[in-house]
């Protein structure tokens, strides 16, 4: 456990919920609560394909379908890179597929995970507050 970073976090407060509880167990719970969203750095072709809505795909031209297959078979791709822009061009902003892919490119985490602390136990909080 990185106690100096925990000390800093406890002093600053949770960016979404404010000051941490004075009770160490409750403060640890607040740090471990999954209530933050992080952007993923990559999506696999399988993850992309699993978020393509069949009706959207079937409505594409053969050329557009081939472009989707080409992207899916690249392997891991940056979900915020050129491939994402290409998928938006192919399916259209607001389509069910683009909505699903937008959700797939983020992950929910705790504040402790977000700042690199891992799981925080009440004893960690007590030590940080000494």
92: its two tokens:
């259209």
**Domain limits of the chain?**
3-35+110-128, 45-104
pTM equals 0.69
30: its two tokens:
């607040």
How high is the pLDDT of residue 16? 85
Ramachandran category for residue 116: left, alpha or beta (phi over 0 → left; psi -120 to 50 → alpha): left
Number of other CB atoms surrounding residue 40 within 10 Å: 13
How high is the pLDDT of residue 98? 96
3-state secondary structure of 51: coil
pLDDT digit string, tens, across residues 64-84: 999 999 999 998 999 999 999
Compute the distance between CA of residue 118 and CA of residue 75 in angstroms, rounded to an integer.
29
pLDDT digit string, tens, across residues 8-53: 999 999 998 899 989 999 999 999 999 999 999 999 999 999 999 9
Ramachandran category for residue 42: left, alpha or beta (phi over 0 → left; psi -120 to 50 → alpha): beta
């Amino acid at each position: 456990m990185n106690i100096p970073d925990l000390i800093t976090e406890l002093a600053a407060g949770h960016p979404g919920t404010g000051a941490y509880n004075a009770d160490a167990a409750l403060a640890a719970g607040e740090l471990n609560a999954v209530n933050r969203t992080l952007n993923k750095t990559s999506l696999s072709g399988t993850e992309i394909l699993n978020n393509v809505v069949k009706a959207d795909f079937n409505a594409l031209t053969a050329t557009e379908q081939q472009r989707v297959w080409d992207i899916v078979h690249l392997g891991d791709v940056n979900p915020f890179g050129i491939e994402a822009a290409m998928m938006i061009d192919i399916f259209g902003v607001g389509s069910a597929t683009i909505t699903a892919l937008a959700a797939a490119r983020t992950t929910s985490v705790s504040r402790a995970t977000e700042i690199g602390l891992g799981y925080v136990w009440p004893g960690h909080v007590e030590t940080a507050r000494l």
